[in-house]
A = this chain, B = another copy of it.
Amino acid sequence: MGKTRSAPTLNDVAKASGVSTATVSRCLNSPERVIETTRKRVLQAVKTLGYTPNFAAQVMAANRSFTIGAIIPTMDNAIFARGLQEFQDQLRESGYTLLVSSSAYDPEVEREQIRTLVARGADGLLLIGHARDADVYAYLERHQVPSLVAWSYDPHMHPPSVGFGNAAAMGELAQSVISAGHRHIAMISGNTQGNDRAQARVEGVLRAMDENGLDANSLALIETTYEIEKGAEAFDQLMSLSPRPTVVMCGNDVLAAGALRQADLMGISVPEQVSVTGFDDIELAEVVSPALTTVHVPHREMGRKAARELIAMVEGKSEGRSICIDTRLVNRGSLAKPPRQ
């Protein structure tokens, strides 16, 4: 196994190049403040020794980590992937590193992960949605960690948010559904408990029904986790209702994909016999058949703007502004008029 020689430190580099640790540190952090000849010598030593600064020590000394934390509900499907990838790319460009954790939609896990990230010296935090206990926000306040909410938009809430109006977006889609003539509406929603995006999407549908003179109580609603399988099961249940819904609005594309699969299995043709809609416009939406009529969310744009805003907050250049991202309906074919009675 060879001798257990451990990683070189600033000190090692200092000795190797015959200067003080202070000078080595300067060479690395503000090269212009050290004369060229010594700088070259030092950097050479850094290279040959394979020196990497010890991050923990840097954080302790500088009280700054250039790290941003993000906690998303799940990595297991594509809902957050694209936006987060862009968020990370943008952070990297500005010299920040992203740490991601997923909470499995569990508030307790999320709370623990927030603590972990704060303890790790995260300079700022990205959270999904506003729905969490007040003490979590108090904790963040206390630790002076700037936070930003994404995938949701509500300018009246704290922390500031970069996202879209889930209720309005889903409401628009529902309006489109109703305008097409549907009267028996069903919805497969993600669990609304602790999930303000899911809640808002349901509200959007209810409100649209109300505005169009439909009885909002008549909405056949099933809540479930965001899995294809669950979407399929829920669709199956909905199809045995009477009167049978003529449209199944899904809380997101993943659930809609499950619904489509089940429809296929049951020999129910979409959209001829039943219409199905999604939400998010992830890759899936374009690939299933029929392709999904859904709400397009510009995830990349959201990720990019969130990164910029959060960095501005971390660097004290912004108090935190909320930014609204525009969504738009995408008609692809899974929504049509209801069949004649």
Contacts and interface: CB of A to CB of B under 8 A. Distances in A.
A123 to B, nearest CB: 12
A315 to B, nearest CB: 16
A85 B75 contact: yes
Interface in A116-155: 116, 118-121, 139, 142-144
Given A50-B139, A85-B76, A287 B56 contact: no
A7 to B, nearest CB: 5
Most B C-beta atoms less than 10 A away, residue of A74, A102, A143, A287: A287
Interface string A85-114: 100110000000111111010000000000
A337 B37 CA distance: 72
Contact of A52 (B52, B143, B287): B143
Contacts of A65: 56
A119 B54 contact: yes
Copies of this chain, complex-wide, total 2
Contact of A119 (B53, B60, B82, B120): B53
Contacts of A258: 287
A4 B144 contact: yes
Given A59-B56, A121-B55, A143-B52, A287 B284 contact: yes
Contacts of A261: 286-287
Nearest to A50: B142
Given A52-B118, A78-B78, A288 B289 contact: yes
Interface residues of A, number: 54
A326 interface: no
A56 B60 contact: yes
A121 B75 contact: no
B56 A7 contact: no
Interface string A243-261: 0000000000010011011
Interface string A282-313: 01101111000000000000000000000000
A84 B75 contact: yes
Nearest to A66: B116
B116 A97 contact: yes
A228 interface: yes
A261 B257 CA distance: 15
A155 B287 CA distance: 37
A217 interface: no
A115 interface: yes
A318 interface: no
Nearest to A97: B116
Given A52-B118, A101-B98, A143 B7 contact: yes
A229 to B, nearest CB: 9
B283 A264 contact: no
A81 B254 CA distance: 15
A157 interface: no
Nearest to A300: B76
Interface of A: 4, 6-7, 50, 52-57, 59-60, 65, 74-78, 81-82, 84-85, 88-89, 97-102, 104, 115-116, 118-121, 139, 142-144, 228, 254, 257-258, 260-261, 264, 283-284, 286-289
